[in-house]
Amino acid sequence: MPQVKRNPSVVIIGAGMTGMLMVIKLRKAGITDIVVLEKKDSVGGTWRENTYPGAACDVPAHMYTYSFEPNPNWSRFFARGPEIRDYFENVADKYDVKRDIRFNEEVTDAQYDRGKWTVKTSKEQTYVADFIVCATGILHHPKFPDIPGIDDFKGAKFHTAQWDHDVKISDSTRVGVIGTGSTAAQTIPELINTGAKVSVFQRTPQWLMHLPDFKFSKTMRKLMTRFPLLTKMHRNLGKAFLEHFFTKAVTGHFIQKHVLNFLCKANLRFSIKDKRLREKLQPNYQVGCKRVIINTTFYKAIQKPNAELITDTIERVTETGIITKDGKHHELDVLVLSTGFNAFNFMRPMNLIGRNNLHIDKAWEHKIKAYRSMMLSGYPNFFLMLGPNTPIGNFSVIAMSEVQADYLIKMIDKWRHHEFDEFEAKQEAIDEFTAYIKKGLKGTSWVGGCQSWYLDADGDPILWPYTWRRWIDEMKEPQMEHIETRSFRQGHFDS
């Protein structure tokens, strides 16, 4: 007599873009026993957290949507943060995602034992599940600079990911910004446009690419609503740009690499008139080594009379400002920390304990690595979404998550059909995958002589070094020879 197809229980950690996607995909696959544990009070993840002035996505808006839920009403080519958050809220409502979410409930512990995960939360609740999907995202733990005296500052001080909207900034305010990465390039022009005196403390200059951002007219949005093919066309154009130009440029394809190099250098040369300022903004590493910033406002703003670019090293922070290496004291009313995130935390600081009491800190003691970016040795029936070596450097994270979700569901479907009771990546498969990645990284821009958040403790970028198409092809079907499976039968353990 055939066995009945199992309906697994699944705990999803995080209700951002990926967590919401997993709810929708799992339900579509007929899996209904789902609990989503979200540490904050709403969906949206990155776009809930980052509310700084100028927040926007550097992926074309029509590509920054779920493939099954296009949005013909984007107002701009590059969508702004509030509009993106609204999109995710609308998706959550349309697909009734929130009924499975437990808000304000942070996961503190997750432990595996013989086919089951036991998950504990900040509300002292316990959940038992067959599978965990860790959708905690990449950039969600703000990184604070270790600068002497930083706690002594008496003015308003906050990280860009924790923007204090109660602080009023006007033309009489003296603002200091530490950092010049992607977030800073978006928010600095907004601060300068208030008329405030803005001092930008730059440690490392960035390469900027000028890609025009334009508004979609009401007429165009009506047409895209009426003719979905137009929306699809915009999506495909954005996909083609990222896949065939940008991704290939940073992964070492000769023509695309040199075109990107020319565009960024020409942008700096023709945007910055003052030679001394241009020299300060000139990176000494190859284009693409750090994430190339797509931006049309920073170069214009930094040349305004109320803006100052400071490249002297910060010696210390005082109660009223910053002292730089040249001995100058920069008086400030507000200090903005645009210093990025702890990108390698992933699911941590939760206590993730796998088979044989293996703690994640021990498993990743020497190097952070995962098979196909998703599975770990010693952690059965566990998936890490957007893990190490996902193509996060140059593509839409929504597209990445959709590919991973399909792979994940294929693995769970095998479990549902009683092919096995638990599975995990073989350690040798993880080691082979890591070597495969390292081989591909040799020709990429990410090893071009810079320090970036892409690099792990060994100096290896934890990115995907090959093409987007190759990633899709390799993720189409699970390679079961790389996966260790086990079954429990009549009280015995079979592998």
Residue 186 inside a domain? The answer is: yes
Q: Are residues 37 and 186 in the same domain?
A: no
Confidence of residue 128 (pLDDT cuts 50, 70, 90): very high
Q: In the structure encoding, which two tokens stand for residue 318, read together?
A: 């005082």
> 313 and 372: one domain?
no
In this predicted model, what pLDDT tens digit does every residue of 374-384 receive, in sequence order?
999 999 999 99
> What is the per-residue pLDDT for 489?
67
Q: Are residues 374 and 479 in the same domain?
A: yes
> Do 355 and 441 reside in the same domain of the chain?
yes
Does residue 487 form part of some domain?
A: yes
Give the pLDDT band (50/70/90) at residue 494: very low
Instruction: Write the secondary structure of 161-177 as one string of H (helix), E (strand) and C (coil).
Output: HHCCCCCCCCCCCEEEE
pLDDT at 50: 94
Q: What is the mean pLDDT of residues 176-181?
A: 96
In this structure, what DSSP letter does residue 461 have? B
Domain that holds residue 273: 150-219+253-337
> Containing H/E element for 28?
helix 17-28
394 and 460 in a single domain? The answer is yes
Mean pLDDT over all residues of the chain? 94
| Mean of pLDDT values over 330-350 | 91
Query: What's the pLDDT band for 492 if we cut at 50, 70, 90?
Result: very low
Distance CA 456, CA 340 (A): 15
Confidence band, pLDDT 50/70/90 cuts, at residue 98: very high
Q: Output 225 or 138, whichever has higher pLDDT.
A: 225
Check whether residue 292 and residue 423 sit in a common domain. Answer: no
Give the number of domains in the chain: 2
The fraction of the chain above a pLDDT of 70, given in percent, is: 98
Burial class (CB in 10 A: 0-12, 13-18, 19+), 59: buried
Residue 4 has pLDDT above 90, yes or no: no
Question: Is there a single domain that holds both residue 130 and residue 194?
Answer: no
| pLDDT given at position 457 | 81
Domain stops at, among 337, 356, 388: 337
226 within domain boundaries: no
Q: Based on the fold, state whether residues 458 and 387 are members of the same structural domain.
A: yes
Residue pair 422/115 in contact (Cβ under 8 Å)? The answer is: yes
pLDDT given at position 490: 43
Residue 429 sits at φ, ψ, to 5 deg, of -70, -40
Residue 395: inside a domain, yes or no? yes
Last residue of a domain, one of 337, 371, 388: 337
Q: Sorting pLDDT into bands at 50, 70 and 90, what band is 2? A: low
Query: Across residues 146-166, what is the average pLDDT?
Result: 97
Rounded average pLDDT over 302-313: 98
- Among residues 315, 337, 359, which one ends one of the domains? 337
**Model confidence at 478, in pLDDT bands (50, 70, 90)?**
very high
Same domain (yes/no): 163, 310: yes
Residue 459: pLDDT over 90: no
Which residue intervals of 251-287 are DSSP H helices?
Answer: 254-271, 275-280
Beta bridge partners of residue 10, listed in sequence order: 34, 131
Confidence class of residue 61 from pLDDT cuts 50, 70 and 90? very high
Q: Is residue 94 over pLDDT 50?
A: yes
Establish if 20 belongs to a structural domain: yes
333: domain CATH number is 3.50.50.60
**Coil/strand/helix, residue 426:** coil
In a domain, 232, yes or no: no
Question: In this structure, are 428 and 284 located in the same domain?
Answer: no
Cα dihedral across residues 76, 78, 81, 83: positive or negative:
positive
CA dist., res. 361 & res. 255, Å (int): 42
457: in domain: yes
Residues 474-482: contacts with CB under 8 Å, at least 24 apart: 474/372, 475/372, 475/403, 475/404, 475/406, 475/407, 476/407, 477/410, 478/407, 478/410, 478/411, 478/414, 482/371, 482/425, 482/426, 482/429, 482/432, 482/433
Tell me: do 111 and 260 sit in the same domain: no
pLDDT higher than 90, residue 40: yes
Sequence-distant (6+) residues with CB within 8 A of 62 are 70, 71, 74, 231, 234, 235, 237, 238
**Residue 69 sits in the same domain as residue 214:** no
Distance, in Å, from the CA atom of 241 to the CA atom of 209, rounded to the nearest integer, reads 13
Q: Are 24 and 95 in contact (CB under 8 A)?
A: yes
Residue 242 lies in a domain: no
- Average pLDDT rounded to a whole number, residues 24-47: 96
E strands present in 149-264: 156-159, 174-178, 197-201, 208-209
